[in-house]
């Protein structure tokens, strides 16, 4: 079995585990642009000690090229854990992050994420470069 077979995909409007990539569909070559990654845009994902998003990663696959490039990987490490018990901690990390990138050619942004209970998730969007 290939690792790609382990990734689940769905419409983020109907599924709370799908990483959502929010950015322009077309950007200018050589100019930085903001990318927002989040889990649970339409349907909130829990963020508890027992059920949480551990990380999200962002990749870029240039059109007509073999290799994919990692833009960033972002870990969410606080889920209410504490000596006092589950969900008694003083801090919770929200599973959303902004990052910036610059592209020289069109391609596909790919986001992956991991839910500690429901496994690996993936989504992608095409980006045009002018």
d(CA 73, CA 86): 26
How large is the C-alpha radius of gyration of the chain? 16
**DSSP for 54-96, written as a single string:** EEEEEEEEETT-S--EEEEEEE---BS--TT-TT-SS-B--SE
Write out the catalytic residue numbers.
15-17, 45, 51, 115, 118
Q: Answer yes or no: are the C-beta atoms of 17 and 113 closer than 8 Å.
A: yes
How many of the other CB atoms lie within 10 Å of CB of 117? 9
Structural tokens at position 89: 């901690």
């Amino acid at each position: 079995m290939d690792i790609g077979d382990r990734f689940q995909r769905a419409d983020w409007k109907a599924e709370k585990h799908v990483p959502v990539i929010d950015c322009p569909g077309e950007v200018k070559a050589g100019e930085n642009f903001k990318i927002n990654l989040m889990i649970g845009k339409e349907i909130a994902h829990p963020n508890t000690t027992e059920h949480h998003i551990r990380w999200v990663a962002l990749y870029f696959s240039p059109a007509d090229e073999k290799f994919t490039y990692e833009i960033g990987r972002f870990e969410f490490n606080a889920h209410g854990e504490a000596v006092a018990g589950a969900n008694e901690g003083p801090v919770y990390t929200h599973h959303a992050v902004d990052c910036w990138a610059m592209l020289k050619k069109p391609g596909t942004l790919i986001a992956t994420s991991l839910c500690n209970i429901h496994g690996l998730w993936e989504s992608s969007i095409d980006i045009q470069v002018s």
